[in-house]
Chains A and B, each alone.
Chain A
Amino acid sequence: MQPLLTVDDLKVHFPIKKGLFSRTVGHVYAVDGVSLTLAGGETLGLVGESGCGKTTTGLAILRLLDPTGGRIIYDGNDITGMSRSRLRPLRRQLQIIFQDPYSSLNPRMTVNEIIADPLRVHGLYNGSEGRQWVEYILEKVGLSPEHGRRYPHEFSGGQRQRVGIARALALRPRVIIGDEPVSALDVSIQAQIINLLIDLQTEFDLSYIIIAHDLAVVEHMCDRVAVMYLGKIVESGLYHQVYNNPLHPYTRALLSAIPVPDPGRPRQRTILQGDVPSPIEPPPGCHFHPRCPRARDGCNRRMPELVEHRPGHRVRCWLYRDTNHG
């Protein structure tokens, strides 16, 4: 099946400028060769720690950041270098939900205005029909028409996230990128929003890319998962492949580091030493080798390729050498 969205060798490098004449003295390799696909109706999880490039990847896919290299193909159109005017009709179909709904909602607009605004921008809002549509969308995200006349500060965190979802949904998108959509919410509210996103996906035939650091949330929501480390995907596969049979030492450490709410369970934890290195000067060879418990000779010389270990399950690690001819 033809994927709805294909990202091929995406690169986003930020120049570091210094001095009087803003000389470029280096680059932050935020995203460095990321490839992924998203099929219609599918949910893809993008996980990793801060600085791994997961958010930058999301922003670049939406062209909210301009990629340094690579291609983004949406529904058969290469949108990588597309002009703003040609991009606009496609933008409607690709929407985003942010982590902190408060900072992404205009405090001087009522909720009705917030939801209607993107419709107006796209020339899709006309009078009473528009109002009805906004009311319908509000109801779909679990808010009442009365909520529409209020301002963002009058809402709790969970309700604000519902407003953020409504705004994204109003344009009838096909793809929604959720950047940490539930991580700022209380535990009891988190489940409500996850369930809402699952319901909306079926009803509106949506594809999701869920960017998150919480691996339990991603396991619950996603069909496929890609794990990122310092700008590169180190492992990807169906959720049960990655969670039940993690291959990359980083994925294993990440999964074992999560505190499990089960005091009766004996734990075997791999505690990684040190912090995530800076993406300005990533370590040579495999970027993970300085923290890797299984690093050996050669890991510090060449970056392994992302290779298919089993059908659909890819890993970027020299341990899986038999399949790594790169």
Chain B
Amino acid sequence: MIATANAHSGQNPRSLPKAGHLLEIKGLKTYFYLFEGVARAVDDVSLHLDRSEVVGVVGESGCGKSVTAQSIMRLVPEPPGRIVGGSIVFDGMDLVKLPADRIRNIRGNRIAMIFQEPMTSLNPVFTIGDQIAEMFRQHMHLGRRESLERAVEMLARVQIPEPAKRARAYPHQLSGGMRQRAMIAMALACSPEILIADEPTTALDVTVQAQILDLMLQLRQDFHTAIIMITHDLGVIAEMAQRVVVMYAGKVVEEALTADLFDRPLHPYTAGLLESMPRLGSRRPGRSRKLKEIKGMVPGLLDLPPGCSFAPRCPRAMDICRRRVPELVPAGNGRRVRCRLFPGQGDTSATTADGG
């Protein structure tokens, strides 16, 4: 029944993760040491990714979703940032501990990344073709001519019209959608096992966004690339991801299969997000136009409240929430939730720990 639910997902989203994940992040901590104090941008984040899977990471600004991605790629600006704990295991290697030269062989080659604004990540003084060809020269040690030919092939794969001509264009000569395609071509040049997409369509118009999302899912089928989709847009998550990780103030607060999360969000933050979104077709004539809202603001990372970071905004917060940080506990069907409303918190008298 799920197969018809999401026309795009090729694999059965219900298939349970097998032992030995493609990528496994455990207890990752990436802190920024600033003059004003320590910003715990990523604070004890664990997540995994399997082959050909699309995992969505969703959250608001400052929740740590982009820093998590930068940590995987070892692109955290140091200083002030530093990975201070945890592991990121990919193909038996811990990326956190890997020396810089070995990371360079993985980055761009086996794990690639695309960003929100392609213009800032493309080099303005080289042609698109040259920049994609460099991937082949660098990682596959191909010759100049062959690299360029492969670059033109890649441009054709991402459905850029007149690829040979566009290969000679500079980034500023292409439209936003074309630049994002060129960036995807570059990212997929070496058939990476993992593609990290950080808000890949946020800067694009909706009709172009639809093209790019469609292209990404199609390429995932062709290249068997697993995708980590980082976004604030729950609509994009619903259409792209089989599994979702919700982050708030540097921590994972909920993880679930996409269908389960939208069907029955467990964490009050997730529930609040889903309710506060204006949705197409949800307005009823004669009813109030007002939306449900989450009170207050996202806390600053330098002055996080004690206890659960969401407690000051949470409609269901209890006394203990403001004192002690809850743990991320299993909640059945592969779900995890970091909230005291659910049993399994070690220090409470809850009895029925629901093992997933």
Q: Give A contacts to B, CB under 8 Å.
A: 49-50, 156-159, 186-192, 194-195, 198-199, 213-217, 219-221, 239-240, 243-244, 253-267, 269, 271-273, 275-276
Interface string of B1-41 (1 = CB under 8 A from A): 00011110000000000000000000000000000000000
Contacts A194-B278, A260-B279 supplied; 7 other A-B pairs, CB < 8 Å: A186-B232, A192-B293, A195-B291, A219-B280, A220-B291, A267-B7, A267-B239
**Complex Cα spacing A244 to B214, Å:** 25
Closest to B4 in A: A266
User: What are 27 contact pairs spanning A and B, CB under 8 A?
Assistant: A49-B208, A156-B297, A158-B297, A187-B276, A187-B277, A188-B293, A190-B277, A191-B276, A191-B278, A195-B293, A214-B278, A217-B278, A219-B281, A220-B282, A221-B289, A253-B207, A254-B207, A259-B210, A259-B233, A259-B238, A260-B280, A263-B238, A264-B5, A267-B6, A275-B175, A276-B205, A276-B207
Closest to B248 in A: A188
In the assembled complex, how far is the CB of residue A238 from the closest CB belonging to chain B, in whole angstroms? 10
Partner of B294, one of A188, A215, A264, A266: A188
Q: B6 to chain A: which residues have CB within 8 Å?
A: 263, 267
Cβ–Cβ contact B61 & A259, under 8 A: no
In the assembled complex, how far is the CB of residue B214 from the closest CB belonging to chain A, in whole angstroms? 6
Q: B177 to chain A: which residues have CB within 8 Å?
A: 275
Q: Decide yes or no whether B356 CB sits under 8 A from chain A.
A: no
**Complex Cα spacing A272 to B258, Å:** 27
**Complex Cα spacing A271 to B285, Å:** 30
Partner of A263, one of B5, B281, B295: B5
Q: A213-B205, A221-B289, A254-B206 are in contact. Are A264 and B283 (CB under 8 A)?
A: no
- B 242-264 contacts with A by CB, 8 A: 258-259, 262-263
Q: A253-B207, A263-B258, A272-B207 are in contact. Are A187 and B234 (CB under 8 A)?
A: yes
Closest to B231 in A: A259
Q: A253 to chain B: which residues have CB within 8 Å?
A: 207
Cβ–Cβ contact A198 & B290, under 8 A: yes
Partner of A49, one of B207, B237, B272, B293: B207
**Complex Cα spacing A185 to B203, Å:** 14
Cβ–Cβ contact B280 & A255, under 8 A: yes
Q: B290 to chain A: which residues have CB within 8 Å?
A: 194-195, 198-199
Q: B278 to chain A: which residues have CB within 8 Å?
A: 190-191, 194, 214, 216-217, 219-220
